[in-house]
Amino acid sequence: MPQASDHAVIFDLDGTLVDTLPDLHVALNRVLKEEGLQTLAPAETRLMIGGGARNLIDLAFEKRQVANDMAKVDAGFDRFLNYYGAAPTVHSRPYPGVLEALVALSNGGTALGVCTNKPQDMTNQVLEGLQLAHFFGDAVIGGDTLPIHKPDAGHLLAVVEKTGRTAEKTFMVGDSETDVGAARNAGIPVIVVDFGYTALTPEELKADLVISHFDDLLPALETLGFSA
């Protein structure tokens, strides 16, 4: 068993650890099609991910100009949860280098966690379905578990507490302004990947560092003061 490090690394899920867009896109378009609405292109769905499942549905219905019909939106949300929950990992996969990076960090004794606005049940399903759950233990908090969520610092700090480490020894890895906002609010250094789900450029996100592949994660962490 590896000797424990005093550091923790907390990850976002969608667009950071896992490319979940394909399965989210299928479930979302199924709902839109049932409502007689025009379906979305993957590039459109991509930019709606990050605020949680309810936000995804709200944005999709707003795009189709039916956001003010709350009964229809609520029903669509319920069906989306059922459709996506039944098949969350058919096409979704960890990004290249993710597994190797998690193994390296875990073997070095670093505590790992997940802070995501995705609902907790869906988060657990994705992590378990892709055989990633064991890296994080119970340091996984979804967007519907607490009364607050990213970019509120409390969401991220609650995950840090689950790891048994301190915020001063923690790093965040994400892909969006929500992740950067949570990290900044918590006073935690943040790295962003440049392949995630955001309309903003990596430069506009104003993270501490940007990486293009998970092979670059450990060197980036070390630049920010991480040591195994």
Task: Dump pLDDT digits (tens) for 30-50.
Answer: 999 999 999 999 999 999 998
User: Tokens 């019909």 sit at which residue?
Assistant: 69
Length of the chain, in residues: 228
Q: Indicate left, alpha or beta for 75 from its phi (over 0: left) and psi (-120 to 50: alpha).
A: alpha
Side chain identity at residue 54, one-letter code: R
pLDDT at 73: 86
- In Å, what is the CA distance from 11 to each residue of 79, 81, 102? 28, 23, 10
For the stretch 81-133, pLDDT in tens is 999 999 999 999 999 999 999 999 999 999 999 999 999 999 999 999 999 99
With a CB cutoff of 8 Å and minimum separation 6, the contacts of 93 are 18, 19, 130
Which is more confident, 69 or 192? Answer: 192
pLDDT in tens, 11-29: 999 999 999 999 999 999 9
Radius of gyration for the chain, computed over Cα atoms and rounded to the nearest angstrom? 17
**Residue bearing tokens 């409390």:** 154
Nearest 5°: the CA angle 188, 203, 197 is 80
The structure's pTM equals 0.95
Domains of the chain: 8-20+92-223 (3.40.50.1000), 21-86 (1.10.150.240)
Residue among 56, 67, 157, 68 nearest 113 (CA)? 157
* The pLDDT of residue 67 is above 80: no
136: pLDDT strictly greater than 90? yes
Pairing, β 8-11 against β 170-174: parallel
**pLDDT computed for residue 3 by the predictor:** 67
Backbone φ and ψ of 93, nearest 5°:
-145, 150
The two beta strands, 190-193 and 209-211, are parallel
Give the residue numbers annotated as catalytic, written as ranges.
12
The two structure tokens encoding residue 106: 């875990």
Neighbours of 213 (CB within 10 A): 14
